[in-house]
Amino acid sequence: MKKEITLKINGEEVTAEVEPRTLLVHFIREQVSMTGTHIGCDTSSCGACTILINGKSAKSCTILAVQANGKEITTVEGLATADGPHPLQEGFKLAHGLHCGFCTPGMMLRAVELLDKNPDPTEEEIRWGISGNLCRCTGYNNIVKAVQYASAKMRGAELPNTDPVFVE
């Protein structure tokens, strides 16, 4: 028996009927057609499906769509504004923090929450903050640089050098 749910996804209200067993990641990708949220493992190990629910990061492969009823969801598609890309999106581009790009949406959303809680994290705090999200190809150094760039830009501080040739 289907259940009607209403969510606010990236600022827009979405009402739909779902099977009670539908995972939120499948609802977002298949019923709302926002494919930036990736499915990587279905066990919450990789973090590719990370979204924000009411501002807190969550792995959408472990949450039923009906559990998100009435909640505000942010996906990677919701980071950019009419003014341009989010500072994290800029940082990932400039610091080459995306490589294959599969983990990037989840990594960015996890970093959004990190920077909301701690606008000026140390390298160690960034590494700890994103530790629940796996990247299989970057080695994390450029991801850390991307988050440092976004942190500086969001605080209005001097922007760090993101050129990968000079990144240690």
Phi–psi pair at 8, nearest 5 degrees: -110, 115
Q: Which of 109, 9, 132 is nearest to 51 (CA)?
A: 109
Residue with tokens 């920077």: 115
Look up residue 5 and give its amino acid.
Answer: I
Contact by Cβ (8 Å): 54, 45? no
Contact by Cβ (8 Å): 63, 86? no
Does this model's pTM top 0.75? My answer is yes
Contact by Cβ (8 Å): 87, 55? no
Structural domains of the chain in order of their starting residue, each with its CATH number: 3-78 (3.10.20.30), 87-155 (1.10.150.120)
Q: Which of the four pLDDT bands, split at 50, 70 and 90, describes residue 43?
A: confident
Q: Rounded to whole angstroms, what are the CA distances from 60 to 20, 69, 75?
A: 15, 13, 10
Contact by Cβ (8 Å): 152, 135? no
Rounded to an integer, the average pLDDT of 90-98 is 93
Residue 154 has pLDDT above 60, yes or no: yes
